[in-house]
Amino acid sequence: MVESQHADGRAGIHAALVRRLIAAQFPQWTDLPVTPVEVDGNDNRTYRLGEEMSVRLPTAEGYTPAVGKEHEWLPVLAPSLPVPIPEPLAIGVPGEGYPFGWAVRRWLDGDTARLDLIDDLREFATSVGEFVVALQGIDPTGGPLAGKHSAYRGASLEHYDDETRHCLALLDGHIDTERASAVWEAALSANWQGTPVWFHGDLAIGNLLVGDGRLAAVIDFGTSGVGDPSCDLVIAWTMFSGESREAFRKTVDQDAGTWARARGWALWKAMLVMSRDPDANDEQTVGHRRVIDEVLSDHDRIS
């Protein structure tokens, strides 16, 4: 999920619609103000409901499986995690012209993570690593196996093989596609054969909340599930570097094959976004180019 600022009304969802849904289905909260959050995701629209709740509405049908999944499993995961995660309160049904199920959650305090808000990035990286380790340690019995509901996070990278090779062709001349191909082949070769564990699926800077300079909460478990945890290591390149990356790497303590697949996940996503406009020089494209360069360097260093 990419987080950014959006004008109210994106995907046909706006504060007035949310107020109507609340009034029709949860009249006990009718008098509470409904306010768009400042930083929102693409997969869902989020509104603050009063001071203590939030409302989360999928922007397309493909994101709707997360509503029920999170409602069922977030309460199971929460007691074993070192920081708060969203607490489900209620599920809404289609209505008022809105076609999907939606969720009401307890409000979580904190700011969307930014480097300037973090007191010590190395300590922060350790905290994120401890979250990953704690999540993997939760009993996966009965959990949702990786698949379509998780956008195939936690599943085999083979699912994205054709797409990745297409991106490599599009980016020829824009990145070192020979080295990138080697990273991708190494990722595919490092077949995961471990015991399925819980993964978050989108452990990105936009899904981490900061309070008092430290990790305060982790949000958006829409692509979570049970399977291969390598997708949760991508933040090593998208957020961390140098000492903070090494602190994260040491804390999660994963084997070489898991790191090889993690480089594949990072490469796939960065190339996918960059290939939409390879010549762009905006902040997002520059960021993805940096991720690609660092993933390639990481691969070269251990090869």
> Residue 3 — very low, low, confident or very high, per pLDDT cuts 50/70/90?
very low
Residue 256 near residue 194 (C-beta atoms within 8 A): no
For the chain, what percent of residues have pLDDT higher than 90? 90
Minimal CA–CA distance to 118: which of 239, 202, 200?
A: 239
186 contact partners, CB below 8 Å, separation of at least 6: 260, 263, 264, 299, 303
Report how far residue 56's alpha carbon sits from residue 13's, in angstroms, rounded to the nearest whole number: 11
How confident is the model over 263-303, as pLDDT tens digits?
A: 999 999 999 999 999 988 888 899 999 999 999 999 999 86
Q: What is the pLDDT of residues 71-127, one digit of tens each?
A: 999 999 999 999 999 999 999 999 999 999 999 999 999 999 999 999 999 999 999
Per-residue model confidence as pLDDT tens digits over 242-251: 999 999 999 9
Contact 1, 41 (CB under 8 A): yes
Q: Which residues contact residue 153 at a Cβ distance below 8 angstroms, ignoring those fewer than 6 apart?
A: 146, 199, 201, 202, 223, 225, 227, 231, 265
3-state secondary structure of 147: coil
pLDDT at residue number 6? 56
pLDDT in tens, 41-57: 889 999 999 999 999 99
